[in-house]
Amino acid sequence: MKTVYIYSILFVVCLLQSCSSFLDETPYNKITAGNFYTNAKEAEQGVNGLYSRMRTLYGSGYILYMCEAPTDIWKSAKSMDIEFQNWTIDATSGSVGTLWSNCYITINQANAVLKALENNDISDLSEGKKKQYISEAKFIRAHHYYHLVQQYGAVELKTEPTESLVTEAYKTSEAEIWNFIIDELKYCIENLPAEQNVYGRITKEAVKHHLARVYLTVKRNDEDIKEAKRLTEEVIASSHSLLGSHKELWSTDNVRNSEVLLPVLFTSNTELNGDGQQLHVMFTASYSDHYPKVLERDLAYGRPWSRIRPTYYLQELYDAEKDARWEDCYRTFWRVNKEEATDMIFSPYTKKTEEVFWKRGDSAMIIPKHPWTKEQVKAVWPVWVWMPDEMREELQDKIQSETNPDGEWPSNTKFQSGTMYTTLIKLQDPLRPSANEMKGVRDVVVFRLGETYLLAAEACHLLGDNVKAAEYINVIRKRAAISGKEKEMEITATQVNIDFILDERAREMAGEFCRWYDLKRTGKLYERMNNPAMNEIVAGKFQKYHVLRPIPRDQLARISNPEDFPQNEGYGN
């Protein structure tokens, strides 16, 4: 498959400035559907500009706050946005407003492109290419409406470009928006080419995957679930294939691979990469701040940012004795990355402070999967061992030092915190030019075949066929198994229920923009967000109305008919 980069040229980027939402009061430029998209080259550039907008949707941390954290599997690290950290989200929350505005910017741009493709006489554009471009624009528009209806519920459904000032807004019911999304995706399946010859363009398989997820969300009747099953099985039977392991899947040597269904492309060309992919920092603990004598920021360990950390519930879902996803997807071990280093450390053996010499590659810090005994910690001295932060109060006065030489616990006992914790490494980006560079170059994977199997299992379970559901789940679990442990990773039909499916999705899909939607779709959001055994920070604060986000204050302040566009229940303006 030929690989090229899809990007917008300057005058398409100018179109992005035309209206930041359908209520924006800034001046509009003169690029419209009627006077720009008049030949095949301009039409292609217009559609490529929509692909560029996908970078804006998936390029920075707000999308993880809105779609992943905090939930049952993620909690706040020290520097998470304060309203998400304390669960005080309101109409002024930055991420809530950013997703809203980014979606409507893209929708308006898609509407302009579609209006031109459907109405302009573009004589040098073949009918096949026209259908392809219309399908791609419809998919991107539908994908943004998918986020809007999931997050905010009833919003305004706009299918025409805004080319002048509009101050009135009217809500469209969730049901109508879902029906619109379904119809758009069906059109894409019918009109996209059988195969795209440019990597990164939307394919039939990506659309089928998306539509299956939509059907499992709306579940209007059994036919929707049957359609989800049919669509996922068609994708599974396609030319896409699972990679051999998560280590292979997330390797930066193999970013563009057969498992990817829908990528968002980035590039090492700084002139074309915009703000880059900044998700690589969101899960990274501040390892170098904690032990700067032996560790410094580097590309391999990532740029520390301390926004999102895994809950202990998520960590306990992995059986590290047989599930390779634990080691393949998380960092719990750091080696000295300076040429040489020294430190003065109290020894549990001589009971005095000694000078310790380190060289590059020596073990420096470890976070055990489960708490170690003091004997285990002592056995690896002087390597720092990070115990759960919940043990701090019990043990901190029992740690050996010059002033406490007879303490029960050796001096290398440390405690996890909001800046030091197990780190998800799926999104890390060692391809950046330097350790401090924020603008990442790694592609973002939005949909992949691994999830398709789990969607198929979910559909089978809902249709009462747990035998088939277990078969699909076992494909994923056996792929995840440590060599020789494949049989131990298999499950039986009797183990399949919606909670098991959610847990398996957590093991397989953690950090991949879908946990909030998974919990909503399965009716488990309120239950799991209020379970202190899953997320002790949010539990007790999550109200039933929190299943929807607030309408951003900026949006409400601009409308002239507030009675027709009220704030979502439970939130203030």
Q: Which two tokens stand for residue 125?
A: 């554009």
Q: Which two tokens stand for residue 138?
A: 């419809």
In CATH, 9-68+90-202+533-561 is 1.25.40.390: yes
Tokens 């170098």 appear where? 288
Tens digits of per-residue pLDDT, 46-81? 999 999 999 999 999 999 999 999 999 999 999 999
Is the confidence at residue 83, as pLDDT, over 90? yes
Coil, strand or helix: which one is 414?
Answer: strand
What per-residue confidence (pLDDT) applies to 34?
64
Contact between 108 and 162 (Cβ < 8 Å): yes
Q: Which of 280, 267, 268, 274 is nearest to 435 (CA)?
A: 280
Residue type, 20: S
What per-residue confidence (pLDDT) applies to 265?
97
Q: Which of 511, 476, 450 is nearest to 310 (CA)?
A: 511
DSSP state, 77? -
At 16, the pLDDT band (50, 70, 90 cuts) reads very low
What per-residue confidence (pLDDT) applies to 32?
57
Common-topology check for domains 9-68+90-202+533-561 and 206-260+449-523: yes
Q: Which of 222, 202, 79 is nearest to 138 (CA)?
A: 202
At 33, the pLDDT band (50, 70, 90 cuts) reads low
Q: Which of 292, 296, 294, 367 is nearest to 331 (CA)?
A: 367
Which phi and psi (to 5°) does residue 337 adopt?
-120, 15
What per-residue confidence (pLDDT) applies to 343?
97
Element (H, E) at 508: helix 498-509
- Of 165 and 5, the structure prediction assigns the larger pLDDT to 165
Tens digits of per-residue pLDDT, 499-536? 999 999 999 999 999 999 999 999 999 999 999 999 99
Mean pLDDT of 304-321: 98
Distances from the Cα of 154 to the Cα of 62, 217, 561, 567, angstroms: 21, 15, 16, 10
What per-residue confidence (pLDDT) applies to 331?
98
Contact between 56 and 92 (Cβ < 8 Å): no
Q: Please give the Cα distance from 316 to 327 (Å, whole number).
A: 13
Is the confidence at residue 1, as pLDDT, over 70? no
Region of residue 87 (phi > 0: left; psi between -120 and 50: alpha; otherwise: beta): left
Tokens 């997320």 appear where? 535
Contacts of 433 by beta carbon, 8 Å cutoff, 6+ apart: 268
At 558, the pLDDT band (50, 70, 90 cuts) reads very high
Sign of the CA dihedral with 231 first, then 234, 235, and 236 last: positive
- 310, β-bridge pairs: 74
Is the confidence at residue 26, as pLDDT, over 90? no
DSSP state, 22? T
Q: Please give the Cα distance from 154 to 170 (Å, whole number).
A: 9
388: burial class by Cβ within 10 Å (0-12, 13-18, 19+)?
middle
- Of 32 and 282, the structure prediction assigns the larger pLDDT to 282
Q: Which of 562, 561, 551 is nearest to 92 (CA)?
A: 551
Mean pLDDT of 213-233: 98
Compute the mean pLDDT over every residue in the chain, rounded to the nearest whole number.
94
Q: Which CATH number is 206-260+449-523 given?
A: 1.25.40.10
Is the confidence at residue 13, as pLDDT, over 70? no
Is the confidence at residue 20, as pLDDT, over 80? no
Is the confidence at residue 12, as pLDDT, over 70? no
What per-residue confidence (pLDDT) applies to 27?
27
At 36, the pLDDT band (50, 70, 90 cuts) reads confident
Tens digits of per-residue pLDDT, 339-370? 999 999 999 999 999 999 999 999 999 999 99
Lowest mean pLDDT among 20-29, 116-125, 544-553: 20-29
Tens digits of per-residue pLDDT, 153-192? 999 999 999 988 999 999 999 999 999 999 999 999 999 9
Q: Which two tokens stand for residue 76?
A: 């706040």
261: burial class by Cβ within 10 Å (0-12, 13-18, 19+)?
buried
Which phi and psi (to 5°) does residue 427 adopt?
-100, 0
Q: Please give the Cα distance from 364 to 333 (Å, whole number).
A: 8
Q: Please give the Cα distance from 382 to 397 (Å, whole number).
A: 19
Q: Which two tokens stand for residue 285?
A: 């603990």
DSSP state, 442? P
DSSP state, 391? G
Domain boundaries, the chain: 9-68+90-202+533-561, 206-260+449-523, 282-442
- Of 89 and 4, the structure prediction assigns the larger pLDDT to 89
Contact between 51 and 266 (Cβ < 8 Å): no
